[in-house]
Structures are given as C-alpha cells and as structure tokens.
Chain A
Amino acid sequence: MTLIARLAMRPALYSVAGARAWFCAVSLAYFLRRVATLMPLVLVISFLAFCLVRVAPGGPFDKERAPATPDIERNLKAKYHLDEPLWKQYLRFIGIGFEKRNGEWRAFEGGLVRGDFGPSLKYRNHSVNDIIAQGLPVSLSLGMLSFCFALGFGIPLGVWTAIRRGRWQDHVGSFFSILAVCIPAFVLGPVLIVLLGIKWPVFPVGLWGGPWHVILPAITLGTYFAGKVSRLTREGMSQALHSDFITTARAKGVSERSIILRHALREGLLPVVTYSGPLLADLLVGSFVVENLFQIPGIGVFLVSSSINRDYTMVVGLVILYSVMLLALNLVVDVVYGLLDKRVKYG
C-alpha cells in the first residue's frame, strides 16, 4: 500500500487536515484584511511625517556652503516645489493629481504611488531611492546578524535563568542580562574598539568589507537586545513552567529536557516573538551610533542627519521605510504567533 493510501485510510488525519485547511483559509482572509488596512495607515504616517518636518523651523538649504542670496534660495525652492502650498506638495509627493505644465494639464510625475521618494534635498545629485538602495543592504545584513546574535545569546540565557530561578545561576545570568541592557552602544562600541581593535588587534576597527568587519558592530548593536530578549525569555519561561500542562507532562513522566525544550519553550517564547517585530524593524533600519562609530555605509546615519538637516524628502522616505517594515514585521509576528499557539483565534 502506498503511503498516501495508508494516510487516506486514517480518519483522524482527515479532521486534522481539514482543521488545518480551515485554519489556513481563516488566517489567509485575516492576513489579506490586515494587508488592506496597512495602506491607509502608511498614508496617514507619511502625511504626519510630511507635516512634522515642514513645521520645524529652518529649511534644507540653510546650511549651504555659500550664503545663498534670496534669488538663489527662491529658485532652489521653486525647483523642488517648496514654494507651493503644503497640500499640493503632499499630493505631488504622493503622485496623485494634476498640474499645468507648458500650458496643458498633466498628471504629476513620480511620487509615492510609483515607488519614487523624490530627490534628496541635501545630496541633490542623488535620489532618496538611490541612497536607500545603496545603504539598505548594508544595514539589513548588519541588522540580521545582530538579530541572530541577540536571539542566539538572549534565548539560551533566558531559558537557563528561568530553569534555575532563584538560585545563584539565575542571579549571575540575570545580572549579566541587566548589565547588557544598561550599557549603551556608544559605550560598548568604543570599549570594543579599544580592546579588540587597538590593544589586541583581533578585529578591524571599522569600515565595511569582509566577514571580520561585521563582528564588532554586530556585537555592539546586538548586546542591548540580547539582554532584553533574555529578560523576556526568562519571564515567559518562568510563567510557562508553572502552568498546568507542564505539571501534567511531569506527571506523565516526560523527561525534563523534553519538558523544557518541547513543551515550555513553545509557550515561553511568545513574549520574545511579540517583541521581535519591533526589534527587527529597529535593527534592520540601521543604527546611527554603530554606523557612525564603525564608519559603515548604512542608512542608520541618515535617520539622524536627515532630520537635523531638514532633508524633507529623505526624512519622509525613511519614516515610510521604517513604518512599512515595522507594520509588515508585526503582521509576520502575528502569523508566527498563531503557528506557535493554536489557541489564538484570528478575528
């Protein structure tokens, strides 16, 4: 008998498969609905960011090298349409609407709906898309590595401290995870550079190149989050280890190892899963401190510099990038949550 035929003869499997199919259909509908609500949310966020930077005093051309004459400034503003009313600028940014060009009405060119964030007002030879396209892969790979570092250290440490709760292992482990949360990256970075870059030159002190360049920045960026993940894991695991199903498993004689790794971990990791959405968004969009310290050409630097320089288009572009990433990751988190915890019902 073939395997498929044998499986088909087991009615229990039918119902499980049926339930799973039903679950998939429900969660697919839920997924699609969530995706549909993302669009207006992104629009609102983009509008908010758009207004926010423009309300701030000063403009993108304040720090030009030569003191711009009023004429030059007016021309610059006209070129980038900064002299138009705010609503028109926003519509132009979105890319929906019409304007009179050479005597006839034409639709706006570019704009968000066509995936174009416009030109950067500070680095005027580059478009925001170019800058993001250049920096994002770097920030993404650094962020992914830090994420792996944070989870790889945080989860085992959290599990360990939860199992040994109240004993000295817990105290030592908890001490280190709180210490990790309390050392900011701009302290850890210089310390690592001085120790492992200058004093004992194991790693290069900066720049971006081979795999050796990645390690110090990834540790600098990930340590804080490793501490946080470890605290969350410890909390989740402690609660899971005290729930009834663990007592049942113990009563059935399930081995301690299996109780921890197969039963408790699945529930104990739920807080970490929830947290990893915003965590990953923060890491992937890059960090100003780390990229600045190690001279890494990512986009985290622009997060700070663009808002200081009033590089309007850049700020809005980065805000949209970040929020889309965050919203998408939160969506993924919700789906993963449902996979881990079957009791979750998608409404």
Chain B
Amino acid sequence: MVEATHQPSQALETGESPNRRAWLRFRDNRPAVMASVFLLALIVLALAWPLISSQGDVHSEAQFAVPSGGHWFGTDVHGRDLFGRVLAGTRISLMVGLIGALVSLVIGVLWGATAGFLGGRWDNLLMRTVDVLYSLPSIIFVIVIITTLQEVLERWLQATFGGEGGETARMLLLYAGLGAVSWLTMARIVRGQVLALRERQFVEAARSIGLGTRAILWRHILPNVFGVVIVYLTLTLPAVVLYESFLSYLGLGIQPPGASLGSLIAEGSAQINPIRVYWWMIAFPAGFLAALLMALNFLGDGLRDVFDPKVDKNC
C-alpha cells in the first residue's frame, strides 16, 4: 500500500506526462482494474463463443432443462442452450451500448463545444434546445423515433440491398434512438468545460498567433475536454445498455430469434407463475446484465478519479 500511494507522487516529481500519471493513478485503483479485466474477458468470451459452439441457436426437445453439465445455464422455452443465448445477448447489449454511447458522444461533444465556443446568441439557442429536449419524457421520444424511422429505413434497405432488411433497420434505429436521447448531459458538460477553457491564456495565445476558430477548437480545446468526455462516456455506456434492455423488455428493441440481455430477461419473467419458477431463465441473464453494468460503472468511477482527481482518496 505504501508503494501504491508513493508512485503517483514520484511520477509528479520526475515530471511524467499527464497521460502517464493518469495511467499510474488508474493502475492503483483496484476495482477499476478488476472491472476492466472482467470486461475484456467477457467481450472475448462473447465474441469467441460462436466459434466454439453453435448450441445457442439449436432448438431441442429438452424444454426448460435445469442447469446441468450439458447445459450450464439450463435451456429455454425452445430447448435452446441458455449459456449460448446469454453470451449472444451480452454481445448485442454491448454493441448497442457502445454504438449508442458513441452516437451520443459525437452529437453531445459537437453540440456542447459549438455552444460553449461561439457563446452569446448561439449558445442561448443551442442550450435552450437542450433544455426543451430535457423536459420531454425520453421514452416517448425513443418510441416515436424508432417507429418513425423504422419504415423509412426498412424501405431504403430493401431498395438498396434487397431481401430482409428489417432486423438490421431495427438495430440501427436502436443505436440512433438511444444515442439521440442520451447526448443531452454530455452537451451540457462539454459546454461548461469549453466555456471555462475559452478564457484560458493558452487559447488567447493561440488566437494571438492567428489560429482560426476551427483549429483552436480541434487542437487546443477539445483535447482538454477529452478526460471529462471519456469519463462521461463510460458512464453513458451502462445507461444505454440499461435503456436498451428496458426497450427489449417492452418488446421494442431486439426481436426474437435475436437476443439481448433485456429480451432474455423478458422471456424469463414471462415464465413466472405461482406453480413453477424457472429461476435460471431470469437469474443468469439478469446476473450477466448486473455484472456487465457494474463493471462499466466501476470502470467509469475509476476513470473519473484518474481524470478528475479533485478528491484525493487518501486524505
């Protein structure tokens, strides 16, 4: 523990780069490191599992089999191996979360940076828009976006690629819809940061040597916002995963035979009745979802401590 607390200060003395210092601080945060190892393992397992086994899609006679050596997590209503289904669900949930969070990142950073940097009337207009969108219930917004664009996109996909475009369209919309509702806070945070940075001397210096607005924004301001953005991105990811699972639970997200963790939980809780509880059908997807979200949250918290060391954890 002595070494652990010593290292960052040593780094400070020897004049390490900020990134190296951040890495050293991150390495000392045991929950965050464990969370990232867990996440990596989960991603590798979820991606590699279809190569190892194709049990997840095979229907069999063994309906609602109890977890055993053959089926580690038991089987579902169609006799499919739940372990494979859960991994497939994890894959989809992670993908939706990642892309949704990236969409929110792009919109939020551009919006917030523009508002903060231009200031004045533009700032007012852009941020009032954010205020208005904030006061719409997001669930209505998402449902309307998904159903509105679905038909359009489906038609477009069929015209361009032919054949079945329905599921692809639905997935794309899910990403877009979730990104479209979760960028608001990102925009507010980035705007605040940019507003503060704009007044700093290095920006003034950059302007004095004749740099244009875009160059200042890209080269000098956005790199400084990076830390906050990364932190908030890791915290948006679990939020989007949770939202996706909620939508899938409502039947608006991933459709069978596709699976996400949310739709698996919905399938499981549909089987709850007073006579017989197929606990594995809800326990395993829910456990995976909770573990995934927790890992992401721990990672986000760890990154925040790294990039925003306002509260020194040892004093």
Q: B277 — which chain A residues lie within 8 A by C-beta?
A: 194, 198
Say yes or no: A182 contacts B293, CB within 8 Å. yes
Judge whether B151 is part of the interface by a CB distance below 8 angstroms.
yes
Q: B269 — which chain A residues lie within 8 A by C-beta?
A: 186-187, 190
- Nearest opposing residue in chain A for B304, CB measure: A235
User: From residue 299 to 340 of chain A, which have CB atoms closer than 8 A to chain B?
Assistant: 303-304, 307-308, 315, 318-319, 322-323, 326-327
Task: Tally B residues with Cβ within 8 Å of A.
Answer: 45
Judge whether B147 is part of the interface by a CB distance below 8 angstroms.
yes
User: From residue 199 to 223 of chain B, which have CB atoms closer than 8 A to chain A?
Assistant: none
Judge whether A49 is part of the interface by a CB distance below 8 angstroms.
yes
Say yes or no: B140 contacts A41, CB within 8 Å. no
Judge whether B196 is part of the interface by a CB distance below 8 angstroms.
no
Q: B294 — which chain A residues lie within 8 A by C-beta?
A: 178-179, 182
Judge whether A4 is part of the interface by a CB distance below 8 angstroms.
no
Say yes or no: B282 contacts A187, CB within 8 Å. yes
Say yes or no: A183 contacts B140, CB within 8 Å. no
Dominant secondary structure at the A interface: helix
Say yes or no: B141 contacts A52, CB within 8 Å. yes
Question: A319: which of B137, B245, B252, B289 is its contact (CB, 8 Å)?
Answer: B137
CB distance from A122 to the nearest CB of B (A): 15
CB distance from B218 to the nearest CB of A (A): 32
User: From residue 179 to 232 of chain A, which have CB atoms closer than 8 A to chain B?
Assistant: 179, 181-184, 186-187, 190-191, 193-194, 198
Say yes or no: A186 contacts B137, CB within 8 Å. no
- Nearest opposing residue in chain B for A171, CB measure: B31
Interface string of B226-251 (1 = CB under 8 A from A): 00000000000010001001100110
CB distance from B251 to the nearest CB of A (A): 9
Report Cα–Cα, A242/B313, bound state, in Å: 11
Q: A165-B313, A239-B310, A242-B315 are in contact. Are A41 and B139 (CB under 8 A)?
A: no
Say yes or no: B313 contacts A288, CB within 8 Å. no
Task: Tally A residues with Cβ within 8 Å of B.
Answer: 45
Say yes or no: B135 contacts A184, CB within 8 Å. no
Say yes or no: A193 contacts B249, CB within 8 Å. no
Q: A52-B141, A184-B245 are in contact. Are A45 and B293 (CB under 8 A)?
A: no
Q: A57-B147, A178-B294 are in contact. Are A318 and B131 (CB under 8 A)?
A: no
Question: B313: which of A48, A49, A166, A326 is its contact (CB, 8 Å)?
Answer: A166
Judge whether A97 is part of the interface by a CB distance below 8 angstroms.
no
Say yes or no: B139 contacts A285, CB within 8 Å. no
Question: B265: which of A56, A182, A186, A327 is its contact (CB, 8 Å)?
Answer: A186
User: From residue 34 to 70 of chain A, which have CB atoms closer than 8 A to chain B?
Assistant: 41, 44-45, 48-49, 52-53, 55-58
Question: A182: which of B147, B238, B252 is its contact (CB, 8 Å)?
Answer: B238
Q: B255 — which chain A residues lie within 8 A by C-beta?
A: none
CB distance from B178 to the nearest CB of A (A): 15
Question: B132: which of A48, A181, A184 is its contact (CB, 8 Å)?
Answer: A48
Interface string of B248-272 (1 = CB under 8 A from A): 0110100000000010011001001
A-B contact pairs, 10 of them (CB 8 A): A48-B132, A178-B301, A182-B238, A239-B311, A242-B311, A304-B250, A307-B140, A318-B137, A319-B136, A322-B136
**List of 4 A-B pairs having minimum Cβ-Cβ separation, nearest first:** A182-B293, A323-B135, A187-B286, A56-B148
A positions within 8 Å CB-CB of B? 41, 44-45, 48-49, 52-53, 55-58, 165-166, 171, 178-179, 181-184, 186-187, 190-191, 193-194, 198, 235, 238-239, 242, 285, 288-289, 303-304, 307-308, 315, 318-319, 322-323, 326-327
B positions within 8 Å CB-CB of A? 31, 131-132, 134-137, 139-141, 143-144, 147-148, 151, 238, 242, 245-246, 249-250, 252, 262, 265-266, 269, 272, 274, 277, 279, 282, 286, 289-290, 293-294, 297-298, 301, 310-315
